Amino acid sequence: MMPSLLQQCTECQRYQYPQRHLCGHCLGDQLTDLAFCHPGILVAASDLHHSLEARFTQQLPWRIGTVKLDCGPTVLVHIKDLGIRSGMPVSVKNALQSDGSELLQASRQP
Ligand SMILES: [Zn+2]
pLDDT confidence of residue 63: 92
pLDDT confidence of residue 36: 80
pLDDT confidence of residue 3: 59
Positions in the chain whose pLDDT score sits under 50: 1
pLDDT confidence of residue 69: 94
For strands 31-34 and 102-108, give the pairing: unpaired
**CA 100 to centroid of ligand 1, rounded, Å:** 32
pLDDT confidence of residue 84: 92
Q: Which residues lie near ion ligand 1 (Cβ < 5 Å)?
A: 9, 11-12, 23, 25-26, 28
pLDDT confidence of residue 55: 74
Torsion angle of alpha carbons 90, 94, 97, 103, nearest 10°? 80
| Consecutive H or E run containing 55 | helix 54-57
Domain 6-108 maps to which CATH number in 2.60.40.1580, 3.40.50.300, 2.40.50.840, 3.40.50.720? 2.40.50.840
pLDDT confidence of residue 29: 97
pTM: 0.83
In the chain, where are the structural domains located? 6-108
pLDDT confidence of residue 82: 85
pLDDT confidence of residue 1: 45
pLDDT confidence of residue 42: 97
**CA 36 to centroid of ligand 1, rounded, Å:** 19
**CA 18 to centroid of ligand 1, rounded, Å:** 14
